Amino acid sequence: MSSHRSRGRAGVAMAATLPLVAGALALGIPAAQANATPQSGRDTLSGTKPAWATAKADKGSTSDAGKVTARVYLAGNASALAAYAKAVSDPSSALYGKYLTAKQVQARFGATTQQIAEVTSWLKASGLSVTSHNQHYLTVTGQVADTEKAFATQLHNFTKGGKTYRAPTTTASVPASLGGAVLTVVGLDNAPHVVKHDTATLPAPPAVFKNSGPFSTYYGSNVAKSLPSAYGAKQPYAVKGYTGTQLRAAYGAKEQNTGKGVTVAITDAFASPTIAKDAATYAKGNGDAAYKKGQLTQVLPSDYQYISECDASGWYGEETLDVEAVHSVAPASDVTYVGAASCSDNDLLDALSKVVDNHLADIVSNSWGEAEQYNTPDLAAAYDQIFQQGAVEGIGFYFSSGDSGDEVANTKTKQVDAPADSPWATAVGGTSLAVGKDNTYKWETGWGTTKSLLSSDGTSWASLPGTYSYGAGGGTSQIYSQPFYQRGVVPDSLALANGGTAKERVVPDVSAVADPQTGFLVGQSQTFPDGSVQYSEYRIGGTSLASPVFAAIQALAQQAQGGVPLGFANPAIYNKYGTSAYHDVTDHPLGAGVSLAVVRVDYANGIDASKGTITSLRSLGRDSSLSATVGYDDVTGVGSPAAGYLKSFARSGHGHR
């Protein structure tokens, strides 16, 4: 099993490393990363030797009799795919918006029957067994010795994090006679260890979580007058949780903006057994349109695996948030949930492939990921190929930018998350959003929260601004170079932040509400202390909220331009930079000397007041080392959608400028 993907109540995002080399030149990725020939008659598969497989960590050869299971991904016509993906997504291109069907993509850019046969023949001749295959990859099994022979590398045991894993000692390669038919191979290293498939049923809903009051119904409606001042003023209580009505108004949606005729797909791991009932109950109780027959569908695997390792029930809340957020903002759009069999890369890749191969939607929201350092280049190539195929079909992928700011507090290393860092994905950052009386947009800051507890005597807030809790992910990739659409928009201070001479990819691209203090109200079946399963509502945030909210806004935009797919949206997103399409979000929207905060009261046990409550001040706009500034920044990207965003699509007709 490949590395697990993470998720969380506050939201998450994921990692990628070396890009799909065949698409490198189209996006300005250094040509030095292209495949080289390590020895006569062999082509390297870049990134198949993980960075942690060092000489110092080497513990010697893996037993020749050991078993290896791997995926051999097929390249097809990778360079032509990347070129067309760029052209079809670029508003300045003559091919802009000229999308192909899934069948056309496979016919023009996919692996041919002859290529598949040649790769299969080579694998079998090497002593490996091809156990399954599809248009993307071949699954192979065999002994270590045969695997080493096939990929011209040695497999050794290496220590990593106190454990021992298998990995190649050198970059894997394949015969040049295959003519570039192999994109990469995944599975030569086995960190973390593959665990036994678990065919048990999915667990019950997670333990109940409730928010304590007092609340504000809109930002500033209930000021904590009896509590100490902070930053020279009495601060308001956190909102109970915004609803779709408030979010739609804040981001410029009008009555006619419903997302009708547009399908939004959501990918997560596993599947909530109560999602249909929960979503219907939530919609009825919070002013959203009732679901029509067939409006919410699920595409699920035949079985699940790694249930305990992935905390399967913890993903139920993720699906619930994503589905309810999309429907609240785009109430007439169809929602298709595509569940992965687990939180492993292989299973998440399969879920994304289902969307592309069957064109299940034009817009895909993904609230999962991890820090860039944890992914491997072989997997990054596989993800990017799917994103490129989607771009050619008119499908856009939206990923949470992460919830740990610059990741230093989480990983000790400043880095971005992925696959939000991919130049072929839209990274959605986060904001703190103030929606006022009558659903008016007041302001946004970049999402970054510090926490100060109320003193024991109730007369002050301890150590303002307090300790860092969480914030929107962002920063400069150490893997990808700057894509063409960021040129002239992203300042050099960010593009060159890693100290090199070449400009690099910076995330996020755009942003929406994410701060749990100004979060979204969701409704979900949860397990109560007495063992009963009951529907309950609570406030939630994170870029796991920002991604589906922005995806829903994109559904409204697609409807506004006559239903024509937006496709890979980044070139068009940056093309609107500096216009009335966006709120230019800063950390101090009311002036440089004005700090913003809310008061939050929480149950000590997360359920009720039997163990008391905890009162804290949550200061806003304080995202680790990242800052939301005037213009593009690495917390909010080009900004959040303003009223002019949807209007710009209505004017454009077909999205061209």
Burial (0-12, 13-18, 19+ Cβ within 10 Å), 66: middle
In this structure, is the dihedral angle defined by the CA atoms of residues 282, 288, 292 and 297, taken in order, positive or negative? Answer: negative
Predicted confidence at residue 652, as pLDDT, reads 55
Consecutive H or E run containing 151: helix 144-151
pLDDT digits (tens, 9 = 90+) for 10-47: 333 332 322 223 333 334 343 333 334 455 699 999 88
Domain 244-652 has CATH 3.40.50.200: yes
73 and 385 in contact (C-beta within 8 Å)?
yes
CA distance 327 to 419: 25
Q: For the chain, give every residue range classified as CATH 3.40.50.200.
A: 244-652
In this structure, is the dihedral angle defined by the CA atoms of residues 532, 535, 537 and 542, taken in order, positive or negative? Answer: positive
pLDDT digits (tens, 9 = 90+) for 62-84: 999 999 999 999 999 999 999 99
The DSSP result for 522-563, as a single string, is EEEEEE-TTS-EEEEEEEE-SHHHHHHHHHHHHHHHHHHTTT
Classify the phi-psi angles of 14: left when phi > 0, otherwise alpha if psi is within -120 to 50, otherwise beta: beta
Q: CA separation (Å) from 44 to 21, 79, 179, 191?
A: 11, 16, 12, 21
At residue 5 the predicted structure's pLDDT band, cuts being 50, 70 and 90, is low
Least confident of 119-133, 204-218, 280-294: 204-218
Burial (0-12, 13-18, 19+ Cβ within 10 Å), 510: buried
CA distance 640 to 74: 38
CA distance 527 to 639: 38
The DSSP result for 73-91, as a single string, is EE-SSHHHHHHHHHHHH-T
Q: CA separation (Å) from 343 to 272, 575, 602, 656?
A: 14, 35, 30, 38
Give the CA radius of gyration of the chain: 24
Q: CA separation (Å) from 102 to 85, 95, 137, 550?
A: 13, 17, 17, 25
Nearest to 545 by CA among 311, 241, 287: 241
Least confident of 23-27, 448-452, 629-633, 644-648: 23-27
Predicted confidence at residue 205, as pLDDT, reads 79
Nearest to 220 by CA among 557, 590, 503, 554: 590
CA distance 479 to 51: 13
Average pLDDT score, the chain: 91
Least confident of 178-182, 444-448, 462-466, 652-656: 652-656
Is the per-residue pLDDT at 653 higher than 70?
A: no
Is the per-residue pLDDT at 9 higher than 50?
A: no
For residue 436, the Cα-to-chain-centroid distance in whole angstroms is: 29
Percent helix, percent strand, percent coil in the chain, to nearest 5: 25, 25, 45
More confident residue, 565 or 373: 565
Q: CA separation (Å) from 462 to 238, 451, 605?
A: 19, 9, 22
At residue 579 the predicted structure's pLDDT band, cuts being 50, 70 and 90, is very high
Least confident of 2-6, 7-11, 214-218: 7-11
Q: Which residue is it, tokens 């440089």?
A: 592
Is the per-residue pLDDT at 196 higher than 90?
A: no
Q: What percent of the chain has pLDDT over 90?
A: 85
At residue 202 the predicted structure's pLDDT band, cuts being 50, 70 and 90, is low
